[in-house]
Structure 1
Amino acid sequence: MHNSKKVLTPQEATVDMNPMLDVVFILLIFFIVTASFNRETALELNRADNTISTIQPKISPLFTINKQNQVYLNTRLITLENINVNIARLAAVSEINSISLRAHPLSEHNTLVAVLNAIKEQTDVPVSLGETLH
């Protein structure tokens, strides 16, 4: 018998990955082409306009002229020159429905007319006239 040892020399083992990559890309293309992409159906909504309306409270300011010809707006003493400013301030905060004007029977007519003119310069809301008892 011949006793011989085979000497194994290390060989470099290489694996060619190109055919596997080709197969992966072919499968990927196949699945992309055959897949059906369905769009989800959704309900159509009728949306309102983007304008947002805010609800403003409605007020009715009360102007009072006493017998000394002093003008009051809701129990606060004001001057004739400040009537426009006060009405503008009230209109900015809330909507003015109507304006009440009460004059004492002994007050001067000029004061009443000046208050009416100042109110009408600022707004076109209706003004109701009355008289005070005190």
Structure 2
Amino acid sequence: MRGIGLRPKVHVGADGAGVVGHAGARLLADLANATGLTTAYSAALGPLRPRGRGHDPGRIATDLAVMLADGGKAIADLAVLRDQAGVFGPVASTPTAWRLLADIDETALARLASARAQAREVAWLQVSAYT
């Protein structure tokens, strides 16, 4: 699997330079990484890419979730994230996302549900550490 890598470092300033739209959606992607959701999705969907080639399926799934939360209505709306590489980094193409979704079966759905449960548990543990 070709890891897409970490997302670009975001620099925040008050000078108005480098203003981007959808920056709030980046927080969702960072939350997915911080709770281990992206990594858990990668493990859950890894068997769908037996040769280990192509984009990381966990990152694709996370990008799809971020796109939906940001108001996307169709897989082609991944272009909104892809067009802001300075915020989201490289984002898989629409055909790559389609292929991933087409390969998901009941077994993969069960693994995804388990991955979400693991990430939810991590999130609650992180919250309880600060309260």
Q: Calculate the TM-score normalised by the size of structure 1.
A: 0.23
Q: Calculate the TM-score normalised by the size of structure 2.
A: 0.24
Query: Which of the pair is proportionally richer in strand?
Result: 1
Query: Which of the pair is proportionally richer in helix?
Result: 2
Larger Rg computed on CA atoms: 1
